């Protein structure tokens, strides 16, 4: 099948790799929209306009499945995209809160863009999954996706955001760009389990392909 994958830049390549591991023989087109990065600091209207342009391009390629390899665009656009493009199977990427909760961890940190952190969908995920003994802290990481995309000042931004933060059992990488610097984030939380939603996205895409 033809599968389109997009993100605001290179973050989504981590999702694409996970999908290709389980589905090596499909035909892929990846769009890394670095000229509009960061998505996490755009208004809902502007982001929707940008994302529709990309979806149109992936439709021209003939994509039957479109993977939104971006937590921010998923949180803000997926419902509207499903209405606007009813023939396309959209698969979104969401912060792996269910997975984090399922580990039984007591203290969980969710790192994501300001756009994802403020989204209704994220608050729903926390509300629907958190158990009473669990504490889930949300951290809006302004500037981090952009620094990773441009490969500029990443350590400075990490220090500003993470210095002094400790005692988490699980850290959720709620932006696909963060998976690219997993080792650098792990240094701040040597004891914590770091998780992302990439394998979950890959298995959802696999289910759809198998159904076809
Ligand atoms: N990689 C994206 C995400 O998963 C978007 C980062 C951004 O452009 O702000 O949220």
Residue 120: half-sphere exposure toward Cβ, Cα within 13 Å:
5
Tell whether 111 and 132 lie within a shared domain.
yes
Tell whether 123 and 186 lie within a shared domain.
yes
Of 113, 119, 147, 150, best ligand 1 pocket probe by most atoms within 8 Å of the beta carbon: 113
Tell whether 53 and 69 lie within a shared domain.
yes
- Considering its fold, how many domains does the chain have in total? 2
CATH code of 133's domain: 3.40.50.1860
Alpha helices in the chain (DSSP H): 13-22, 44-61, 71-84, 97-102, 114-117, 120-129, 144-150, 154-162, 182-186, 198-211
**Catalytic sites, residue numbers:** 70, 175
Q: 66 near 35, Cβ under 8 Å?
A: no
Q: Indicate whether 189 pLDDT > 90.
A: yes
What tens digit of pLDDT does each residue of 99-150 get?
999 999 999 999 999 999 999 999 999 999 999 999 999 999 999 999 999 9
Tell whether 76 and 118 lie within a shared domain.
no
Tell whether 175 and 107 lie within a shared domain.
yes
Structure tokens at 208: 């759809």
- What number does the ligand 1 atom closest to the CA of 38 have? 8
- CA of 133 from ligand 1 middle (Å) equals 30
Tell whether 76 and 117 lie within a shared domain.
no
Tell whether 135 and 165 lie within a shared domain.
yes
Tell whether 79 and 146 lie within a shared domain.
no
User: In this structure, what are the phi and psi dihedrals at residue 52, rounded to the nearest 5 degrees?
Assistant: -60, -40
> Domain residues for 35?
2-93+199-211
């Amino acid at each position: 099948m033809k599968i389109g994958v997009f993100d605001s830049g290179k973050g989504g390549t981590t999702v694409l790799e996970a999908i290709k591991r389980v589905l090596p023989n499909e035909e892929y087109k990846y769009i890394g929209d670095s000229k509009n990065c960061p998505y996490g600091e755009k208004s809902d209207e502007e982001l929707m306009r940008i994302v529709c342009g990309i979806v149109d391009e992936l439709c021209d390629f003939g994509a039957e499945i479109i993977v939104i390899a971006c937590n921010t665009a998923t949180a803000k656009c997926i419902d509207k995209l499903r209405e606007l493009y009813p023939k396309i199977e959209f698969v979104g990427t969401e912060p792996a809160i269910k997975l984090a909760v399922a580990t039984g961890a007591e203290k969980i940190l969710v790192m994501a863009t300001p756009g994802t952190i403020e989204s209704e969908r994220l608050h729903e995920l926390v509300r629907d999954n958190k158990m009473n003994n669990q504490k889930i802290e949300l951290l809006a990481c302004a500037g981090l996706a952009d620094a990773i995309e441009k490969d500029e000042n990443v350590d400075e931004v990490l220090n500003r955001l993470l210095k002094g933060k400790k005692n988490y059992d699980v850290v959720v990488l709620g932006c696909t760009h963060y998976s690219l610097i997993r080792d650098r984030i792990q240094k701040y939380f040597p004891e914590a389990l770091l998780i992302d939603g990439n394998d979950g996205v890959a298995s959802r895409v696999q289910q759809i392909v198998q159904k076809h």
